[in-house]
Amino acid sequence: MAIQRLAHDPERFADLAAAMSHCPSKTTGGSLGQIGKGQTVQEFEEVLFRMQQGEISRIPVETRYGFHVIHLHRRIDGLQLDFLAVREQIAHYLRKSVHHVALGQYLRMLADRADINGIDLMCSATSQAR
């Protein structure tokens, strides 16, 4: 239904998304913002990255979250940057990632040692195996 309407009047995408969508993006006219590879589910990306700028998907795209009509408003091709230009950003990301993993392990260890009744924190090796 929405796809047929959009075939005749593609400018109505935002209005139709606001009226028909169950996605939180309905408040922004269906806009998901800028999306890069790995930021959405595979089924969505397979269709999205084959589309041309300005194109609207011809059939609904089914994912585990439901059915989607995709409008590729604009495409910005990425650039391969020189390693020296991104070296510090990569190092920062890796330090942050290691810190995040270590903090999670430390919190699981503290929760395993705690004597807490009335709630299962799902943190010990035995509770993770359930």
pTM beyond cutoff 0.75: no
Let me know: does 70 contact 16? Beta carbons within 8 Å. no
pLDDT digits (tens, 9 = 90+) for 54-106: 999 989 999 999 999 999 999 888 889 999 999 999 999 999 999 999 999 99
pLDDT digits (tens, 9 = 90+) for 20-55: 998 899 899 999 999 888 999 999 999 999 999 999
Query: Is the pLDDT at 127 greater than 90, yes or no?
Result: no
Rounded to 5°, the CA angle 21-12-53 comes to: 95
pLDDT score of 128:
47
Would you give the end-to-end CA distance of the chain in angstroms? Answer: 44
Rounded to the nearest 5°, which phi and psi values hold at 38?
85, 0
Q: What secondary structure letter does DSSP report for 60?
A: P
Let me know: does 65 contact 89? Beta carbons within 8 Å. no
- Please give the Cα distance from 43 to 48 (Å, whole number): 9
- Beta pairing, strands 66-68 & 61-63: antiparallel
